[in-house]
Amino acid sequence: MESLLQPILNGVLLGGLYAVIAIGMSTMFGIVKLVNLAHGDLMIMSSYLSLVIVAWLGVNPLWSLLGVVPVMFFVGFFIQDFLINRVLGKEMEPPLLVAFGLSIIVQNFLLLIFTPDARSLTTDLAVKTIPLGEHLNLAVLYLVDFLLGGAVILAVYLFFKNTYMGRAIRAASDDEMGASLMGVNTRKIYAYAMGIAMMTAGVAGVLVGMTFTFYPHTGPQYLIIAMGVVIIGGLGSMKGCLAGGLILALAQLLGAHFTSPGYQLLFGYGALLVVLGLRPQGLFGGKI
């Protein structure tokens, strides 16, 4: 039992990180009904952006958030405004395929500039742990991931609940026609929503970069994690996003604990397929 506490603790903390990876994707699905297949790659792009800032200014990666997050807002805004808004319509496929193409472009662009070498955002946090018991250690970096991730999700929640822009975005998502009759420019609203989603991806990218190594091709791996979280929790639900992150991370770490670390991802996918088979709309999702 003692030995189980460590994977559970790590699972919970990692779940917070998974939730922040997925929150942007969940938001975009909820609002624009867009499954952004480039989410993982844009997130990894922000890891590289942070890497550039850190190398340039020699600051702690957490400070690079001040640069990465605003840049990612504009990246998201323009992607939505110039590319995806043009193909939004009744059909689901064209926006999906545009995002897919974008994902490949970002990946190969990163490969061209940064070479296929493994990178990471090094901090002195990485090696610090807080002992909680004889066999139980709390990795400070995981705690930072969890707390920052939680803060981002809370911020997104409050934004949608309390600000004018947030309400306008929700209105546009509930009833596009109605919102536009009330004077909301829905297409611009979608672009803002994408900008916000990409801001969260920016935070996630920096956190992931600090916690794990990354390559130009790691994007799809995190896209699958994000999709896993969103599908388990239910598309477009914020509560679901947190719950999905926890379930996925716990399934992975406990599965790896009982078998071998090589199977960590396999258990995550297994959990995902079980939820997809039994309850395709996710735990907190409405009907689809």
Q: Measured between alpha carbons, how far is 88 from 204 in angstroms, rounded to an integer?
A: 27
Q: Quick one: DSSP state of residue 131?
A: E
Q: Does position 212 bind another protein by CB under 8 A?
A: no
Q: How many residues bind another protein (CB under 8 A)?
A: 38
Among 5, 126, 165, 273, binds another protein (CB under 8 A): 273
Among 70, 133, 178, 280, binds another protein (CB under 8 A): 280
Among 4, 86, 147, 286, binds another protein (CB under 8 A): 86
Residue 214: strand, helix, or coil: strand
Give the residue with the Cβ less far from another protein, 37 or 121: 37
Non-local (6+) Cβ contacts of 84 within 8 A are 32, 34, 95, 98, 99, 190, 194
Q: Quick one: DSSP state of residue 235?
A: T
Among 93, 117, 124, 134, binds another protein (CB under 8 A): 93
Give the residue with the Cβ less far from another protein, 35 or 54: 35
Among 87, 136, 138, 155, binds another protein (CB under 8 A): 87
- Taking the complex as a whole, the smallest distance from the CB of residue 139 to another protein amounts, in Å, to 25
Give the residue with the Cβ less far from another protein, 78 or 159: 78
Q: Measured between alpha carbons, how far is 85 from 176 in angstroms, rounded to an integer?
A: 13
- Beta pairing partners, 139: 129
Query: Given the structure tokens 């002195």, which residue do they identify?
Result: 124
Among 12, 143, 171, 224, binds another protein (CB under 8 A): 224
Q: Does position 139 bind another protein by CB under 8 A?
A: no
Per 3-state DSSP, the chain is made up of helix, strand and coil in percentages (nearest 5) of 75, 5, 20
Q: Does position 104 bind another protein by CB under 8 A?
A: yes
Q: Quick one: DSSP state of residue 142?
A: H
| Helix pair angle (2-32, 164-174), 10° resolution | 70
Residues of the shown chain interacting with another protein in the complex, contacts defined by CB under 8 A: 35, 83, 86-87, 92-94, 96-98, 100-102, 104-105, 107-109, 111-112, 220, 224, 227-228, 231, 260, 262-263, 265-266, 269-270, 272-273, 276-277, 280, 288
